[in-house]
Structures are given as structure tokens and as C-alpha cells.
């Protein structure tokens, strides 16, 4: 199995004014991302508000992305759900319609009680799409599941034949590095914290999935190029530009802020569903003013 390289954009949900999903926005979104030179899309995940959508909506979004991409990008479908039965439905659907990969978070209401319990849950989901490589989506900040990922790999490789690796969205770089080196790099460990991409590159990352790659992929790609060329000072300075932007996500709220940025770059994706809320007009304008201080958007376009 070839490992994934480059940047995968974790896409945002698109809604119409009445709150229903906007499938018609997806083809334009895909063309925009192709222009950003990303390697693929990760749909119905955290930024795609997967947990806020019905299973039927997630299936419709998956089909639209696969059809719109038409083989030009890798398509990762997040199938995680608090109901394993529903996650299995999503996994089987993704396989049926031609996704390249599936991924799942842990159940986040009734939570697995041990590493073995988590592996059993993921094994059931992965088995519903046996032809697709499966990535466990490790995001403890949202799921609350703090377990040893090396232990996970040790047990999961015995029970999940189609295990490809981990979507590693945590700040523990040392554990991430240990997973990369597990059995001489047996599994693909994709990094998920955009603001730590450069440190992740330093310990061996080759592929990453993130939200800011939707609109700043070219900047991060240049960071990766500088790193590969040994131009570490240039890589650090450019990476810090991204870090300063990401600090605004903390200030204004990650998903609402980035949806406002997407609107600024020409893709109005509508208003998020509760409990997520969009920025007020005043906060949106304040955000744009903050972005203009280092002229971040112009920098992104120039990369």
C-alpha cells in the first residue's frame, strides 16, 4: 500500500440559507481545492461537521465529492459515529461509491473503556468496507479518548486487516514519531495539527490532513519544500506566518473563523448548524482586519 504524501484538506460543510446541505457548492469547492494543489479531501470530519449531519446527508455529501473529484484527488470519507451500526453503514456506502479511504473517530458518548475495546469497535467499522484502507482518527481533544497509540497499533494490526494507519490529531509529537517508526514504518501516520506541521516534518511526517489546507495549502507546501531543501530558516519563518493566523482561530473560534476565511476567498458555505454558530458581522469584520495586519491572504496567494 502506497503511503499518502502531501496535504489533505479537511473540507467544511456547505449549507443553504434554509439550513439544508448544499450539494451544489461541492463541485466549485473541489475545483478550488485542485487549484490549491492539495493531494486529497477529507470529508464529513470535524470541519465537515459530520457529527451534526444525518447519515443520509453524509452519504449524499460523500457521493457528490467522489463524483466531483472524478479521480483527480484522493477521497477520505470520515464514517465515525456514536452508533457503530451507523458507522458501518457509512463505511459500506463509501466503499460502494468509490472512496479511496475511510476513517473513524471513537464513539464519543458511550466511550471505549480500554485499548482493546477501542480496537474491537474500529475492527467492526473497518470490516464493513474490507476493500478500503482504514485510518483510525485519533483526536483526543474532542473525543476524550486518551490512549497509547502504540498499544493501539499492536492490537489493531491483529484485528483490522485493512488498517492503513492513524490520522493523528494530537500535540504529542514524541508519540507521533514513535508511531511513524513502529515496525520500521509499517503504518501510514498522517499528521493532523496544522500549527505543528514543521515540527512533525522534523520527526518524519510526509502527509498531513488539516483544515487550514483549504485556503493556505500553497503556503504549507512551500514550508515543506523549504524543509526538504534544507532551508530551515526560511521554513520556520513561513511556518510562523501560519501560526500567527492560527492564533486567530483560538481568538474567534476554529470552525466559524475558517468558514469566514473561506467566504473571503470566494466560497460562501453558509451558516453552521447549532451548537456551532457563525461569527457576527462585527466579529467577522474584526477577523478580516486582523488578517490584513500581516496581509495573510495575500501571502497565501503569492506562495
CB 183 within 8 A of CB 128: no
Residue 209 among known ligand-binding residues: yes
CB 19 within 8 A of CB 271: yes
Residue holding cell 447549532? 274
Closest CA to 220 of 160, 300, 109, 107: 300
If phi > 0 it is left, if psi is from -120 to 50 it is alpha, else beta; for residue 259 that is alpha
Residue 10: in which H helix or E strand, if any?
A: strand 6-10
Half-sphere exposure of 153 (CA within 13 A, CB side): 23
The DSSP 8-state label assigned to residue 135 in this structure reads E
Phi, psi of 41 (to 5 degrees): -125, 145
The residues that are catalytic are 137, 167
Question: Residues 6 or more apart from 153 whose CB is under 8 A from it?
Answer: 166, 179, 182, 187
Kindly state the greatest CA–CA separation across the chain.
53
Residue holding cell 503511503? 3
Quote the CA–CA distance of 200 and 5 in Å, as a whole number.
13
Annotated binding-site positions for pyruvate:
209
Annotated binding-site positions:
209
Amino acid at each position: 500500500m502506497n503511503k499518502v504524501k502531501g496535504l489533505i484538506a479537511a473540507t467544511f460543510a456547505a449549507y443553504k440559507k434554509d439550513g439544508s446541505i448544499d450539494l451544489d457548492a461541492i463541485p466549485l469547492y473541489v475545483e478550488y481545492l485542485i487549484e490549491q494543489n492539495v493531494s486529497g479531501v477529507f470529508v464529513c470530519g470535524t470541519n465537515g461537521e459530520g457529527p451534526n449531519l444525518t447519515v443520509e446527508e453524509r452519504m449524499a455529501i460523500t457521493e457528490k465529492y467522489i463524483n466531483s473529484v472524478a479521480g483527480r484527488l484522493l477521497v477520505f470519507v470520515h464514517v465515525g459515529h456514536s452508533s457503530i451500526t451507523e458507522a458501518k453503514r457509512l463505511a459500506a456506502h463509501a466503499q460502494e461509491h468509490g472512496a479511496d479511504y475511510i476513517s473513524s473517530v471513537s464513539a464519543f458518548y458511550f466511550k471505549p473503556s480500554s485499548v482493546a475495546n477501542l480496537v474491537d469497535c474500529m475492527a467492526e467499522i473497518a470490516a464493513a468496507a474490507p476493500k478500503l484502507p482504514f485510518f483510525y482518527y485519533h483526536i483526543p481533544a474532542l473525543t476524550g479518548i486518551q490512549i497509547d497509540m502504540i498499544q493501539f497499533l499492536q492490537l489493531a494490526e491483529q484485528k483490522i486487516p485493512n488498517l492503513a494507519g492513524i490520522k493523528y490529531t494530537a500535540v504529542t509529537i514524541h508519540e507521533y514519531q514513535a508511531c511513524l517508526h513502529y515496525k520500521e514504518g509499517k503504518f501510514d501516520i498522517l499528521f493532523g495539527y496544522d500549527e505543528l506541521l514543521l515540527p512533525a516534518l522534523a520527526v518524519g511526517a510526509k502527509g498531513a490532513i488539516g483544515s487550514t489546507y483549504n485556503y493556505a495549502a500553497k503556503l504549507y507546501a512551500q514550508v515543506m519544500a523549504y524543509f526538504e531543501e534544507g532551508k530551515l530558516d526560511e521554513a520556520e519563518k513561513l511556518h510562523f506566518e501560519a501560526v500567527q493566523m492560527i492564533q486567530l482561530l483560538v481568538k474567534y473560534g476554529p470552525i466559524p473563523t475558517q468558514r469566514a476565511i473561506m467566504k473571503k476567498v470566494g466560497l460562501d458555505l453558509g451558516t453552521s448548524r447549532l451548537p456551532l454558530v457563525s461569527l457576527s458581522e462585527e466579529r467577522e469584520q474584526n477577523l478580516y482586519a486582523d488578517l490584513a495586519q500581516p496581509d495573510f491572504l495575500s501571502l497565501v496567494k503569492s506562495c
